[in-house]
Amino acid sequence: MIRPWTDKDLVAVQHVLLETWRDAYGSFIPMDDLEAHFEAHYNLGALRKLLATKGVDGRVAEINRTVVGFVRTTYEPGEARFFVTSLYVLPEYQGRGLGQKLLEEAERIANTYDSDLIWLGVMEQNTRAVRWYERIGFTFIEVAPFTMGSTTVRHLIGYRPLERHANRR
C-alpha cells in the first residue's frame, strides 16, 4: 500500500533511510559520515519541517502495516523542476516492484504541478541504482558533488519525461 506520510511515520522513514544508506553507500562512505549527515539533515525536527513545507510531498510504502520504503518529492517553482529528492526501499524488500510503485506515485504528484519532466540525483558509485534508473528511462546529463560529512562523491543528475507528456517530445 502506498499512502501519504504523516508525522507518525517519521521514525519509520528514518529507519528506512539509515538502513538503506548503510546498504547502498556503506562501501564508499564511512559510517561516521553517513551518521553525521543523517543527524544533521534527517533528525525528527528536520523531517517535521519537510512535512510542513509547501511543494514537498512524501509517500510511504507499507507491507503488513510496516513502512518498508518511501519517496519524497519537491517542486521548485523558481526552477520549474519537479524532483524526486529521496526514494528508498529497505534492502530486504527491494526487487519486489516497490521502487517502481513509489516512482509512479511521484509521477502522479508531478502531474499535479503540470511538470513534463521528473528529475533526480543518484550517487555515481551506487551502481545498482544508476542501472535501475537508466533501465526505466532516466537520462543523466550532469554531475555535481554531493557531500556527506567529510566525504564528497559524484552525484549524477538526470530526468525522465512524464508519461502523459512523453508523446509531446
Given this model, what pLDDT does residue 167 score?
Answer: 44
Q: Domain 2-168 in CATH: superfamily?
A: Gcn5-related N-acetyltransferase (GNAT) (3.40.630.30)
User: Is residue 130 pLDDT above 50, yes or no?
Assistant: yes
User: Is residue 87 pLDDT above 60, yes or no?
Assistant: yes
User: Is residue 166 pLDDT above 50, yes or no?
Assistant: no
Helix orientation angle between 44-51 and 10-25, rounded to the nearest 10 degrees: 110
pTM of the full structure: 0.90
Please indicate whether residue 45 or residue 76 has the higher confidence score (pLDDT). Answer: 45
Query: In what helix (H) or strand (E) does residue 85 lie, and over which residues does it extend?
Result: strand 81-89
Given this model, what pLDDT does residue 146 score?
Answer: 95
Average pLDDT, stretch 61-85? Answer: 92
Please indicate whether residue 169 or residue 149 has the higher confidence score (pLDDT). Answer: 149
Query: In what helix (H) or strand (E) does residue 112 lie, and over which residues does it extend?
Result: helix 98-112
Average pLDDT, stretch 31-47? Answer: 94
In this structure, what C-alpha cell is assigned to residue 128? 545498482
User: Is residue 106 pLDDT above 70, yes or no?
Assistant: yes
Average pLDDT, stretch 60-70? Answer: 96
41 — pLDDT class (breaks 50, 70, 90): very high
Structural domain spans, the chain: 2-168
Distances (CA, A) of 17 to 30, 34, 71, 114, 139: 16, 10, 10, 29, 25
User: Is residue 66 pLDDT above 60, yes or no?
Assistant: yes
Please state, for a pLDDT cut of 90, what percent of the chain lies above it.
Answer: 86
Q: In what order do the strands lie in the sheet with 56-63?
A: 2-4, 56-63, 66-76, 81-89, 117-123, 151-161, 139-148
Average pLDDT, stretch 63-88? Answer: 93
Given this model, what pLDDT does residue 72 score?
Answer: 96
